[in-house]
Structure 1
Amino acid sequence: MAHSALPALLVVHDRGSAGPLRILSAARGLCRVIFLSEAENPASAAELAQVAGHAEVVDITGLGEAEVCRLAGRLDPAGVLTFSEYRLRLTAAVAAHCGVPFHSRATAEALTDKYVQRRALGEAGVQRTGCVPLRHPDEAAAALARVGAPAVLKPRHSAGSVDTCLVTSADECRARLAEFAEGGNRDFVLEEFLPGDPARTGPGWADYVSVESLVVDGEPQTAAINGKPPLVPPFRETGHVLPAPVPPALAAEIVRLEQAAVRALGIRHGITHTEVKLTPDGPRIIEVNGRLGGFVAEIVQRRTGYDMVAAALRLALGLPVTSPDPARLYGDRVTFQYLLVPPVGPLRPGPPALLDDLGELPGVDLVDVSPPAHWHTDWRRGTTGAIGTVYGSAADHTELRALLDRLRERLDRFWHGTDVPQAAMPHSGVPHTDVRIPTPPRPSVR
């Protein structure tokens, strides 16, 4: 093959923040991608089928860690990485076996185990946050007594706010834990609730941000600070806003904390996605993720032209990378993504045609939605319950806040089946924006 002389890069694939087509696009002329994946895994099988003729796919179904490592070694890779939270530990093992850069095994454990991560940050003096592991409902009262109420109950190993909620009493904690653990033994943590300070970002924005960084030889380089629209209860993220609505002094404080956390966890190489809560006592770490955040590459590239997927590939191959130009993060527009996450409560969604009206709002560039044939509106699914994404921009944060308010008003009509006559709908006077309503079910959203 014409590209056979290119170095081989192993991508341990599962559901995550970059799909196979996006990865292959970034790899063009740089490396030869070999996907390691479980062929029958529904989260990735359909995606990989799209690239079967363009990339090598190696089936690791039923293989243990040692077997995957031996298989990977025979492929003589120049690098290895994953874009999936669920494959960080396996990828760390493969990297160690093949002698290529990635998170160490200990770092991968701290990045995927919320209790271990809290303990590591506390021991390093970065941040002490109450956190107690638990599994059985009978442990709820003692755990809450140690952490204090209210507290956040979440899976010990998870992502996307799945099965994550606030509890205010031992009885509520016990009931939620029994509900979440039903059908199998699962580990959870009960964490100290970090109260937010709405004044830090101003009205209309969530009280937390995310920091996207490139880490080279243990030194983090900030790529972006993303702001957030308000959460959908209980803790479901609804998108990104770039740049974040925070002043420069606060942004610098956020970055100092994030970089201290990255170093404390022993991250030496790769891309990180760190969520930071803005509290009355200053920024506090929510969690550090050792991979590219969901939807982050898209908004950074749309705002700055910088390709974080390509940067991740270059880092994995040990090649030099440049950071995004800070000047391009700030300019005359604010870029956003807004996830269509169903609200809590019984819903009676209206016809999909109601979603066409979202594209008429000035500032909306694209509406990409797939209403499911069978609705699953359970808040326990976290952000995986989103049915689509709205993309666009505004002149500034004030204009964007007004746009998102109008967007949510129209979404309310859809969620609750309010079929407003077309004549009564406000119109922007601009051409209709591209609206995609695909027929196949939408893949899980991270």
Structure 2
Amino acid sequence: MAHSALPTVLVVHGQGSATAWRVLSAARGLCRVVFLCEPGNPAYQAELAQIDGHAEIADTTGLGEEEVCRLAEGLRPAGVVTFSEYRLRTTAAVAEHCGLRHHSRATAAALTDKYRQRQMLSDAGVQHTACGLVRDPDEAAAALARVGTPAVLKPRHGAGSVDTCLITSADQLRTLLGEFATDGQREFVLEEFLPGDPTRTGPGWADFVSVESLVVDGEPRTAAISGKPPMVPPFRETGHVLPAPLAPGLAAEAEGLAQAAVRALGIRHGITHTEVKLTPHGPRIIEVNGRLGGLIAEIVQRRTGYDMVAAALRLALGLPVTEPAPARLHGDRVTFQYLLFPPTGPLRPGPPSLLDGLGDLPGVDLADLRPPAEWHTDWRRGTLGAIGTLYGSAADHTELRALLGRIGERMDRFWRAADTPGAGAPRPVDTVGNSIDVPTC
């Protein structure tokens, strides 16, 4: 347990980019951590059970926002932070109530509302992206007429590419809205598809990057720009690569655009994760996330030794932070994480030895595999559908591209298609922007 003389930082905990153990490790000697959360929440109940006796938990089960704020005030915090997309608004409310550094309520609302965020970026002159709200299948034709095709459909509130797909026709949009919005309450954003330019990163890499920023008193400082392996259809990210395979000039353009977006959204403190598409007309904002990106802390620390979770805690306390040092722990090697996704539809897996041997491939340091009890995946789950992650490094991007190719060949041999294919999925898009066919659930 942290020493009581240390300042208290409230961590509004939820499913997100830093586990409770990771937060406690980063807080050692820096602050006392109190987790504001619902201990019985199945999304992270098992995780919290692992820290039983090692952490303080303030139970917010059944409490409304005002009650959570009063509970937080009684803990006399010096800072508040969250690593969960789904807790940003509550964290902003606690910060305002207790007079702490964090996103304002208005900024948190924009960061968690994809439609409002597009409007604010357009109003600030950063980027106009044609988009509209749609909920009912009967609105499909009119919405698509305003945005055009192809378009991207995504939940107005959400993360991890859940229910995110390419739309090519009004009939397809009508069908998907009927499937997604079964209760008539969920709102979706339909926005123009941003075509990528595959020449910007070269063959074998996705046509987008993410810019990781530390924001101090409204000024963003770039901590890292991470590249990506090719996506899995429809729009599922498969990991991160440091450094990104970008020319210095293009990296500077992406960085400048991300910083302009951070300022336009009124972000004053904390860490941001901004996804930037590399189009034929230059970098374009996909979205700005107002918290540490998933898996980003791990790859940055493995590459540079810099602890972004500790940086988030320091920012919450108003303490000085530095950027990752130019000197790298691993020299000029390229560090990677690679998520494994099954094909969509019912599956019959191949010999387990094909999975067991992934960790023995040269360049793979760790194979963290979590095969499901039933071999079936649903593209609608987004990145939550991954069955594991590979961690490692390569001498350069060319060597890493060859390693990912070998991993792909091994996984292709592992999957065995079942006799009955699925039906009813959208036509997704590859990293170049072409519509492609995949099995569906």
TM-score range, shorter chain: over 0.9
Question: 1:233 touches 1:344 (CA, 8 Å); kept in 2?
Answer: no
Q: For 1:261, give the aligned amino acid.
A: A
1:303 is matched with: 303
Q: Secondary structure at the match of 1:231?
A: coil
Partner of 2:287: 287
User: What residue number does 1:428 align with?
Assistant: none
* Offset of residue 374 of structure 1: 1.8
Structure 2 residues not aligned, in runs of 5+? 419-441
2:87 matched residue in structure 1: 87
Q: C-alpha separation between the residues in 2 aligned to 1:308 and 1:250?
A: 24
Amino acid at match of 1:304: T
**Local SS of the residue matching 1:189:** strand
| Alignment pair present for 1:129 and 2:97 | no
Q: CA deviation at 1:414?
A: 1.7
User: Is the Cα contact below 8 Å between 2:103 and 2:268 reproduced in 1?
Assistant: yes
* Count of residue pairs the alignment pairs up: 418
Mapped partners of 1:68, 1:408: distance in 2? 47
Take 2:268 and 2:376, find their aligned partners in 1: how far apart are those partners? Answer: 40
Give aligned-pair identity as a percent. Answer: 79
- CA–CA separation in structure 2 for the residues paired with 1:378 and 1:285: 27
Give per-residue Cα distances to partners, 1:311-344, cap 9 Å, x unaligned.
0000001111111013439942000000011223
Q: So what's the TM-score if we normalise by structure 2?
A: 0.93
- CA–CA distance in structure 2, aligned partners of residues 58 and 415 of structure 1: 44
2:423 matched to which residue of 1? Answer: none
3-state DSSP of counterpart to 1:138? helix
Q: Which residue in the other structure is 2:25 paired with?
A: 25
Q: CA deviation at 1:184?
A: 5.4
Matches within 5 A, 1:12-51: 12-51=12-51
CA distance in 1, matches of 2:172, 2:2: 61
> What's the CA shift string for 1:367-425, capped at 9, x where partnerless?
0101111234110000000011001111100110000001011011222279xxxxxxx
Question: What SS does structure 2 have at the residue aligned with 1:254?
Answer: helix
Q: Distance in 2 between matches of 1:399 and 1:97?
A: 51
> What is residue 189 of structure 1 aligned with on the other side?
189
What letter is aligned with 1:214? L
Cα separation, 2, equivalents of 1:332 and 1:123: 41
Partner of 2:215: 215
Q: Which residue of 2 aligns with 1:401?
A: 401
Aligned partner letter, 1:89: R
What CA distance in whole angstroms lies between the structure 2 residues aligned with 1:138 and 1:214?
Answer: 43
Indicate conservation of the 8 Å contact 2:242/2:303, yes or no.
yes
Which amino acid is the alignment partner of residue 393 of structure 2? S
CA contact (8 A) 1:337 1:390 kept: yes
| Ranges in structure 1 where 5+ consecutive residues have no aligned partner | 419-446
Alpha-carbon shift at residue 50 of structure 1 (Å): 1.3
Inter-partner Cα distance in structure 1 for 2:2 and 2:260 = 44
Q: Deviations over 1:2-34 (max 9, x none)?
A: 701111110000100000000000000111100
* Aligned-residue CA RMSD (Å): 1.4
Give 2:430's aligned residue.
none
Aligned match of 2:239:
239
Taking the aligned partners of 1:239 and 1:294, their CA distance within structure 2 comes to 9
Paired residue for 2:202? 202
AA matched with 2:188: F
One-letter amino acid matched to 1:243: P
Shift of 1:345: 4.1
Q: Which residue of 1 aligns with 2:113?
A: 113
